[in-house]
Amino acid sequence: MESAYEIKGVRLWPGWLDRPAQEAMVADIRAVVAAAPLVAPVTPGGRQMSVRMTAAGRLGWVTDRKGYRYDPQHPQGTDWPPIPASVLAVWRALTGLARDPDCCLVNFYGEGARMGLHQDRDEGDFSFPVLSISLGDEALFRIGGVERSDPTQSVWLRSGDVLLMGGPARLAWHGIDRLRPGSSTLLPKGGRLNLTLRVVA
Ligand code: MD6
Ligand code: FE
Protein backbone atom coordinates (compact mmCIF):
# COMPACT_ATOMS: atom_id res chain seq x y z
CA MET A 1 0.00 0.00 0.00
CA GLU A 2 1.11 3.57 -0.69
CA SER A 3 0.78 5.96 2.23
CA ALA A 4 -2.53 7.54 3.14
CA TYR A 5 -3.07 11.24 2.51
CA GLU A 6 -5.76 13.91 2.67
CA ILE A 7 -7.35 15.95 -0.08
CA LYS A 8 -9.81 18.65 0.99
CA GLY A 9 -10.34 16.90 4.31
CA VAL A 10 -11.08 13.54 2.65
CA ARG A 11 -8.74 10.74 3.76
CA LEU A 12 -7.49 8.47 0.98
CA TRP A 13 -5.75 5.09 1.24
CA PRO A 14 -4.43 4.28 -2.25
CA GLY A 15 -4.24 0.54 -2.87
CA TRP A 16 -5.61 -0.40 0.56
CA LEU A 17 -6.91 -3.64 -0.95
CA ASP A 18 -4.39 -5.81 -2.80
CA ARG A 19 -5.44 -7.75 -5.88
CA PRO A 20 -6.49 -10.97 -4.08
CA ALA A 21 -8.58 -8.92 -1.61
CA GLN A 22 -10.19 -7.05 -4.51
CA GLU A 23 -11.03 -10.33 -6.25
CA ALA A 24 -12.55 -11.77 -3.09
CA MET A 25 -14.63 -8.62 -2.59
CA VAL A 26 -15.89 -8.72 -6.19
CA ALA A 27 -17.01 -12.32 -5.60
CA ASP A 28 -18.87 -11.18 -2.47
CA ILE A 29 -20.52 -8.32 -4.40
CA ARG A 30 -21.55 -10.73 -7.17
CA ALA A 31 -23.45 -12.70 -4.52
CA VAL A 32 -25.10 -9.46 -3.31
CA VAL A 33 -26.12 -8.62 -6.89
CA ALA A 34 -27.49 -12.15 -7.40
CA ALA A 35 -29.83 -11.62 -4.42
CA ALA A 36 -30.53 -7.93 -5.05
CA PRO A 37 -30.16 -7.18 -8.77
CA LEU A 38 -28.71 -3.89 -10.02
CA VAL A 39 -31.43 -1.42 -11.00
CA ALA A 40 -31.28 1.65 -13.24
CA PRO A 41 -32.45 4.35 -10.81
CA VAL A 42 -34.55 7.36 -11.76
CA THR A 43 -34.27 10.70 -9.94
CA PRO A 44 -37.37 12.31 -8.40
CA GLY A 45 -37.20 14.73 -11.34
CA GLY A 46 -37.57 11.79 -13.75
CA ARG A 47 -34.00 11.61 -15.03
CA GLN A 48 -32.39 8.22 -15.57
CA MET A 49 -29.10 7.90 -13.66
CA SER A 50 -26.20 6.47 -15.68
CA VAL A 51 -25.00 4.19 -12.85
CA ARG A 52 -26.80 0.98 -11.90
CA MET A 53 -27.42 0.51 -8.22
CA THR A 54 -28.19 -1.98 -5.47
CA ALA A 55 -27.38 -2.30 -1.77
CA ALA A 56 -26.61 -4.59 1.15
CA GLY A 57 -27.43 -4.14 4.82
CA ARG A 58 -30.42 -3.22 6.97
CA LEU A 59 -31.28 -0.36 4.63
CA GLY A 60 -30.62 0.50 1.00
CA TRP A 61 -30.60 3.93 -0.59
CA VAL A 62 -33.13 4.11 -3.40
CA THR A 63 -34.45 6.78 -5.72
CA ASP A 64 -37.52 6.88 -7.92
CA ARG A 65 -40.27 9.34 -8.82
CA LYS A 66 -41.35 9.31 -5.15
CA GLY A 67 -37.98 10.68 -3.98
CA TYR A 68 -34.63 9.75 -2.43
CA ARG A 69 -34.80 7.61 0.70
CA TYR A 70 -33.44 4.67 2.67
CA ASP A 71 -35.68 1.64 2.28
CA PRO A 72 -35.56 -1.70 4.16
CA GLN A 73 -36.37 -3.51 0.90
CA HIS A 74 -35.14 -3.76 -2.67
CA PRO A 75 -37.67 -2.41 -5.23
CA GLN A 76 -38.41 -6.09 -6.07
CA GLY A 77 -39.84 -6.46 -2.54
CA THR A 78 -37.12 -8.46 -0.75
CA ASP A 79 -34.87 -7.59 2.18
CA TRP A 80 -31.36 -6.49 1.20
CA PRO A 81 -28.65 -9.16 1.65
CA PRO A 82 -26.23 -8.68 4.55
CA ILE A 83 -23.12 -6.54 4.10
CA PRO A 84 -20.27 -8.96 3.24
CA ALA A 85 -17.71 -9.56 5.99
CA SER A 86 -14.90 -8.51 3.63
CA VAL A 87 -16.51 -5.08 3.29
CA LEU A 88 -17.28 -4.69 7.01
CA ALA A 89 -13.63 -5.47 7.77
CA VAL A 90 -12.51 -2.38 5.82
CA TRP A 91 -15.02 -0.18 7.70
CA ARG A 92 -13.87 -1.49 11.07
CA ALA A 93 -10.17 -1.14 10.25
CA LEU A 94 -10.31 2.40 8.86
CA THR A 95 -13.03 4.09 10.92
CA GLY A 96 -12.18 2.45 14.26
CA LEU A 97 -15.86 2.75 15.12
CA ALA A 98 -17.76 0.24 17.25
CA ARG A 99 -20.89 1.02 15.22
CA ASP A 100 -21.23 -0.94 11.96
CA PRO A 101 -22.80 0.70 8.89
CA ASP A 102 -26.49 0.20 8.10
CA CYS A 103 -26.04 0.40 4.35
CA CYS A 104 -23.51 -0.63 1.75
CA LEU A 105 -24.62 1.13 -1.42
CA VAL A 106 -23.32 -0.60 -4.56
CA ASN A 107 -22.90 1.55 -7.68
CA PHE A 108 -21.89 -0.01 -11.00
CA TYR A 109 -20.40 2.26 -13.67
CA GLY A 110 -20.41 0.95 -17.23
CA GLU A 111 -18.67 2.85 -20.01
CA GLY A 112 -19.86 6.45 -20.08
CA ALA A 113 -21.45 6.38 -16.63
CA ARG A 114 -20.83 9.28 -14.28
CA MET A 115 -22.14 10.72 -11.05
CA GLY A 116 -23.05 14.38 -10.89
CA LEU A 117 -21.79 16.61 -8.07
CA HIS A 118 -23.84 15.84 -4.94
CA GLN A 119 -23.84 15.76 -1.15
CA ASP A 120 -24.75 12.60 0.77
CA ARG A 121 -27.31 13.96 3.20
CA ASP A 122 -30.14 11.45 3.51
CA GLU A 123 -28.56 9.71 6.52
CA GLY A 124 -29.85 11.75 9.46
CA ASP A 125 -26.63 11.67 11.52
CA PHE A 126 -23.66 13.35 9.88
CA SER A 127 -21.34 12.67 12.82
CA PHE A 128 -20.60 9.28 11.21
CA PRO A 129 -18.32 9.21 8.17
CA VAL A 130 -19.04 7.64 4.78
CA LEU A 131 -16.43 5.16 3.55
CA SER A 132 -15.99 4.42 -0.15
CA ILE A 133 -14.24 1.49 -1.86
CA SER A 134 -13.31 1.54 -5.56
CA LEU A 135 -13.04 -1.65 -7.64
CA GLY A 136 -12.29 -1.94 -11.36
CA ASP A 137 -11.70 0.85 -13.86
CA GLU A 138 -10.16 4.12 -12.71
CA ALA A 139 -12.50 7.04 -12.09
CA LEU A 140 -11.97 10.78 -11.87
CA PHE A 141 -13.35 11.87 -8.47
CA ARG A 142 -14.10 15.56 -7.96
CA ILE A 143 -14.26 16.93 -4.43
CA GLY A 144 -15.25 20.41 -3.32
CA GLY A 145 -16.42 22.01 -0.10
CA VAL A 146 -19.69 22.19 1.81
CA GLU A 147 -20.96 24.93 -0.50
CA ARG A 148 -21.76 23.90 -4.05
CA SER A 149 -19.82 26.89 -5.37
CA ASP A 150 -16.63 26.01 -3.41
CA PRO A 151 -13.53 25.26 -5.52
CA THR A 152 -12.96 21.60 -6.37
CA GLN A 153 -9.97 19.30 -6.78
CA SER A 154 -9.84 16.08 -8.76
CA VAL A 155 -8.13 12.77 -8.10
CA TRP A 156 -8.12 9.49 -10.03
CA LEU A 157 -9.48 6.65 -7.88
CA ARG A 158 -7.96 3.27 -8.72
CA SER A 159 -9.03 -0.26 -7.98
CA GLY A 160 -8.44 -1.06 -4.32
CA ASP A 161 -8.42 2.58 -3.19
CA VAL A 162 -10.45 3.49 -0.10
CA LEU A 163 -11.67 6.97 0.80
CA LEU A 164 -13.25 8.33 3.98
CA MET A 165 -15.45 11.42 4.10
CA GLY A 166 -15.82 12.46 7.71
CA GLY A 167 -15.66 15.48 9.98
CA PRO A 168 -15.95 18.78 8.12
CA ALA A 169 -15.69 16.91 4.77
CA ARG A 170 -18.73 14.74 5.55
CA LEU A 171 -21.03 17.11 3.66
CA ALA A 172 -18.59 18.09 0.93
CA TRP A 173 -19.90 18.15 -2.64
CA HIS A 174 -18.39 15.39 -4.76
CA GLY A 175 -18.95 13.36 -7.90
CA ILE A 176 -17.41 11.20 -10.61
CA ASP A 177 -16.66 13.04 -13.87
CA ARG A 178 -15.62 10.05 -15.97
CA LEU A 179 -14.07 6.61 -16.11
CA ARG A 180 -10.90 5.47 -17.83
CA PRO A 181 -12.29 2.45 -19.72
CA GLY A 182 -10.00 -0.55 -19.88
CA SER A 183 -7.73 0.71 -17.09
CA SER A 184 -8.31 -2.35 -14.87
CA THR A 185 -8.57 -6.08 -15.51
CA LEU A 186 -10.44 -6.75 -12.24
CA LEU A 187 -13.90 -6.94 -13.81
CA PRO A 188 -13.67 -9.18 -16.91
CA LYS A 189 -16.24 -7.11 -18.83
CA GLY A 190 -14.80 -3.81 -17.56
CA GLY A 191 -16.50 -1.04 -15.66
CA ARG A 192 -16.27 0.04 -12.05
CA LEU A 193 -17.90 -0.85 -8.76
CA ASN A 194 -18.08 1.71 -5.98
CA LEU A 195 -19.20 0.65 -2.52
CA THR A 196 -20.21 3.31 0.00
CA LEU A 197 -20.79 2.41 3.62
CA ARG A 198 -23.15 4.55 5.65
CA VAL A 199 -24.59 4.74 9.14
CA VAL A 200 -28.18 5.81 8.61
CA ALA A 201 -29.28 6.02 12.27
C1 MD6 B 1 -18.05 7.04 -6.50
N2 MD6 B 1 -18.73 8.16 -4.53
O3 MD6 B 1 -16.90 6.97 -6.07
C4 MD6 B 1 -19.03 7.96 -5.89
N5 MD6 B 1 -20.15 9.39 -1.52
O6 MD6 B 1 -18.42 6.39 -7.45
C7 MD6 B 1 -19.55 8.85 -3.74
O8 MD6 B 1 -20.57 9.37 -4.13
C9 MD6 B 1 -19.19 8.98 -2.33
O10 MD6 B 1 -16.93 8.34 -2.65
C11 MD6 B 1 -19.90 9.56 -0.23
C12 MD6 B 1 -18.67 9.31 0.32
C13 MD6 B 1 -17.66 8.88 -0.49
C14 MD6 B 1 -17.90 8.72 -1.85
FE1 FE C 1 -21.65 10.36 -2.60
Chain-centre distance of CA 112, in angstroms?
Answer: 17
Give me ligand 1 centre to Cα 79, in Å: 23
pLDDT tens digits, 96-114: 999 999 999 999 999 999 9
Give me ligand 2 centre to Cα 109, in Å: 14
Please state at what angle helix 19-35 crosses helix 85-95, rounded to 10 degrees.
Answer: 120
**Residues forming a β-bridge with 157:** 139
Q: pTM higher than 0.85, yes or no?
A: yes
Give me ligand 1 centre to Cα 132, in Å: 6
pLDDT tens digits, 7-39: 999 999 999 999 999 999 999 999 999 999 999
CATH number of 112's domain: 2.60.120.590
Among 128, 133, 158, 174, which is best to mutate for testing ligand 1, by the most ligand atoms less than 8 A from CB?
174
Please tell me the total count of domains within the chain. 1
* Beta strand residue intervals within the chain, DSSP E: 5-7, 10-13, 52-57, 60-64, 67-71, 103-109, 115-118, 130-136, 138-143, 153-157, 162-165, 174-180, 192-198
Question: Which phi and psi angles does 139 have, rounded to 5°?
Answer: -135, 140
3 Cβ contact list (under 8 Å, min separation 6):
none
pLDDT tens digits, 145-175: 999 999 999 999 999 999 999 999 999 999 9
Query: Which residue type occupies 84?
Result: P
What b/e readout covers 152-182, taking b as 16+ CB neighbours within 10 angstroms?
A: beebebbbbbbbbbbeebbbbbbbbeebeee
Range of the domain at 21: 5-198
